[in-house]
Amino acid sequence: MNEYQAFYEMVKKWTVNDYRTQKIKAEVIIDMMISEHIEEIVSQSFGKDIKLIAKEFPIACVGQPCIKSEGEISSNRQYASVDFLMSCKESDKPTIYLVELKTSDDSVDGTQLWNMLWTCKQGSNSLYNRFYDIIMNYGINENGNELSTKKYQYTLSKYAIEHMSTLSENVTIFGSERLGNRFDNVKANQEEVAKCILQQGFYQHFHEAEMQILYVSLNPMFKSDIKKLAASTKKEINKKISKRDMVDTDKKAVMDFLESDVSTFVADKHIQLTNLQFGDAMGVWTLISDILSRLQVDWQKWFDEKEMKGGKKYD
């Protein structure tokens, strides 16, 4: 076995062991492995050209108010997030996909489902305005050198380099300088570039876009299970909302939303399900597929001595 194959076997063993260990989020591991291939996986599932916009994209929590205009400052930035934000434009109207990666039925979170449904209800413009607020009013200010804000800046810069070739030379201005004694000058430069990326790039994916939720799962999922999950977690969320300090009219709107017919939201046009397809791809994806298939071993076989030592070995 050469050193590269030995390293691969080591990574596979770690991945499988962590997947089977309590309190470790397997999605984080698999997310890292499939990110490079997520566009191909989703595009092949739906027969469309679907592009990745950003990972861990901020979305509204149930009850957070809609952000109605670009530049509006949010009073609460304690957001939820989705694993992948993806976009497709086959006609004049784009579609935004809120994509969640799931490795088991137990990992599907009811609160997260309602957060995504609430985000869909608010619409794509509010989703864009929320990110605009994070970048312009949080990512570029006195907190602009903190690691959390630098990560938002990195996400925006990465988008520009991958999707806006005409801006590639200028985008290095954004996020690369520290805000210090020249705060006003650096802040002005960063705001100029950020606005350009947001308004000339990001905005085209969001403006009046249709919204869909997509679960990409390692094992088959069914819409009937999603409906049951939404119904079972409704009461808990309702209780949390009732305790919040909100204007009565806002609270009523949220309560009405939670009391809506769950089946309406889980219709085909709102939620899609697909499985990870291994296919016949070669190279790195073949190795990743091998790891993913190892994660699908039935739990009753986990305790076999061979399995506990790492399963099949390759010569």
Q: Which of 120-129, 196-205, 248-257, 280-289 has the lowest mean pLDDT?
A: 280-289
Q: What would the mean pLDDT of 273-298 be, rounded to a whole number? A: 71
Residue 67 lies in a domain: yes
- 267 shares a domain with 166: yes
- 150 shares a domain with 19: no
- 313 shares a domain with 181: no
Residue 36 lies in a domain: no
Residue 231 lies in a domain: yes
| Domain housing 180 | 48-277
- 299 shares a domain with 227: no
Residue 34 lies in a domain: no
Condensed to tens digits (0 to 9), the pLDDT of residues 11-68 reads 888 888 888 888 777 777 778 878 888 898 888 888 889 999 999 999 999 888 889 9
Q: Is residue 271's pLDDT more than 70?
A: yes
Q: Domain total for the chain?
A: 2
Residue 244 lies in a domain: yes
Condensed to tens digits (0 to 9), the pLDDT of residues 118-156 reads 999 899 999 999 999 999 988 888 777 888 888 898 899
| Letter string b/e over residues 85-104, b meaning 16 or more CB atoms within 10 A of that residue's CB | bbbbeeeeebbbbbbbbbbe
Question: pTM of the full predicted structure?
Answer: 0.84
Condensed to tens digits (0 to 9), the pLDDT of residues 244-263 reads 766 666 777 887 887 776 66
- 216 shares a domain with 79: yes
Residue 42 lies in a domain: no
> Chain-wide mean pLDDT for the chain?
81
Say how far residue 96 (Cα) sits from the centre of its chain. 11
- The predicted structure's pLDDT at residue 97: 94
Cα–Cα dist 141/144, whole Å: 5
Residue 40 lies in a domain: no
- 291 shares a domain with 252: no
